[in-house]
A and B are shown apart, each in its own frame.
Chain A
Amino acid sequence: MDIIVIAVFATMVFGAPQGIILTLVAAVIAAAVRSRGALHERTLGMLRMGFLRASVVFSLVSLVLDDWQTVAIVWLIAAFIIDAWRARGAASERDRWGLVALFVAALAGFAMAWLRINWVTTPTAAWLVAVALLASGVFGATLHWSALPWFAGTLSRARTLGLVANIAICALIIAVAFI
């Protein structure tokens, strides 16, 4: 599962900063459980874990800026666009389902933006620029689609559940925005 999607959901449910801190703590625990070897090896291994780095950066930026929602919106949209264009060079580590999950997360980011950004004071051009960037991401993802497998590596139950949960949570975030 995307740790930022989890952080967004947790913060929606528990409020800020509780949700952010809870997610960060969960990420640290998950990283510690996954790491192997002596203490320094485990520490280095944890530092190499992308989800932990993402959680730390997201938490710090959100807390420093005191605006987790804007950080989440930018993160969710940018993550898809970057991944869509990076797919060419790292196909072995990426797959179609991962890209679909990131696209749905980007849509959740747009739902949050529609709802949470002050569009009275923020120029609509900001929305249109984000839409243009998303469209460019879709363009890039489509170009690389045929080169990607549905599942990278071994199809595991955990990965499948994670993807489904990721998409379900994003759908929930989108639904909450428009209920």
Chain B
Amino acid sequence: MNLIKYPNVFRALKRGGVILICLFLFTPISAVELEITFELPEIKTSKYRRPFVAVWLERKSDRSDNQTVAVWYDDKKWLKDIRKWWRKAGRYQDSLDGFSGATRPAGRYTVTVSLDASQEGADNEYLVYFEAVREHGNRSLLKQTINLSKTFPQTYEIKQGQEIGPGLIIVKELEE
């Protein structure tokens, strides 16, 4: 294919147009809110104990900006069993105040977190993790990539795991 040589004027116009379109499409959004809803399934067993649960996220590109949204437990002794959360986040935190709580029965729960969405490219992708582990039971780890560079609102569906899920993540622009 021949390389078409635009006159300088055209070239400048084209470049300007691209920049304008870019500005229009990618007006930076400073903050978003994640509304994370998930289920703790009802499990019929005589040995039922409420699961330990952690919901957390991290920037996908370099695994930085790790934030715990919720951790539900009863004794810190067993926090290590929320294996991935413990390794990625739990063991580095001096205090779990602000996002921790007691274990909950089966049911549907919603937690929220706000995120800075002003990063560019791959840095604007986050991984949301759901981890649940139950005494005498199983452990489930679910994860979902969310892209904060796209338009809002966004909806992501989380499939069902043995001990947690299905779930839903709604990403909304945070009003000033």
B partners with A: no
Residues of B within 8 A of A (CB): none
> Which of A's residues lie within 8 Å of B, judged by CB?
none
